[in-house]
Amino acid sequence: MKREILDALQAARAEHKTVALVTDLASGAQTLVVDGAATGDVAVDPALQGAIDEALRHNRSRTAADGTLFIQAFVPPLRLAIVGAVHIAQALAPIAALAGYDVTVIDPRRAFASDERFPGVKVSTEWPDDGLSALKPDGRTAVVTLTHDPKLDDPALDVALKSPAFYIAALGSRKTHAGRVERLTALGHGANALARIHGPAGLALGAVSPAEIAISVMAQMTAVLHGAEPHGKAPA
């Protein structure tokens, strides 16, 4: 591997970027594809790009071009930032961890955000915008706000909407969400950005208990991650 390819690969992974390394198995020539931009000696035609996209989508290395090329996928880990150390968060955190997410709960209210309430989970007591900014959400990061408190949820959503987070959701009724949209519009977010927020959070599963609501949110998050068509949104 050329030094410049290695350096670019390490830098991209340090920045939580999605990377594919394409190697010609006969010649050893390589091309690095970082967030869709290719650099190297192997030409990336539409067929190869399709194979790269599939490898990255499934986070699985594979061969291409009749076995002459090897695509090595480097996909950032899945992460979930939960804003609000509430009962739903206590259910959602372990469910998400079982699904392979690195979970962080953010809540400046120390009475809620404690190791006792969230054993084995990363807990941040910073203000939500500071805590979320420190995480640097990427395209493999989900952000869910659960507090119903604009002073906590809105700063986090402001940061999330400026990031490439793949899933952004906020708990609350449709009326609550309408007010949220008005406030975020005043902060400068346009209609296309605000449409990224799933509000009310979760699929319409008839969820009532904190655990059931957590399941509905996890289901919607999973559907968005894999590009599936959700069957409905949570009721107001």
Same domain, 51 and 162: no
- Of 19, 40, 74, at which residue does a domain stop? 74
The CATH number that applies at residue 118 is: 3.40.50.720
Same domain, 198 and 218: yes
- Of 26, 44, 74, at which residue does a domain stop? 74
Report the pLDDT value the prediction gives residue 173, as an integer from 0 to 100. 87
pTM score above 0.95? no
Report the pLDDT value the prediction gives residue 227, as an integer from 0 to 100. 82
Same domain, 83 and 50: no
Mean pLDDT across the chain, nearest whole number? Answer: 92
Same domain, 190 and 219: yes
Same domain, 41 and 152: no
Same domain, 110 and 214: yes
Asked whether residue 233 is assigned to any structural domain, the reply reads: no
**Whole-angstrom Cα distance, residue 43 to residue 200?**
45
Report the pLDDT value the prediction gives residue 232, as an integer from 0 to 100. 52
Helices 150-161, 128-135: crossing angle, 10 deg rounding: 30
The pLDDT of 149-173, averaged and rounded, is 95
Same domain, 110 and 194: yes
Asked whether residue 232 is assigned to any structural domain, the reply reads: no
How far is C-alpha 56 from the chain's CA centre?
Answer: 15
**Whole-angstrom Cα distance, residue 233 to residue 146?**
16
Which tokens is 32 given? Answer: 């690095």
* Residue 194 belongs to domain spanning: 79-226
**Side-chain half-sphere of 208: how many Cα atoms within 13 Å?**
0
Same domain, 107 and 50: no
Element (H, E) at 105: strand 102-106
- Band of the pLDDT at 233, cuts 50, 70, 90? low
**Whole-angstrom Cα distance, residue 144 to residue 53?**
27
Please count the structural domains in the chain. 2
**Side-chain half-sphere of 113: how many Cα atoms within 13 Å?**
19
- Cβ distance 32 to 8 under 8 Å? yes
**For residue 45, pLDDT beyond 90:** yes
Report the pLDDT value the prediction gives residue 30, as an integer from 0 to 100. 96
Asked whether residue 192 is assigned to any structural domain, the reply reads: yes
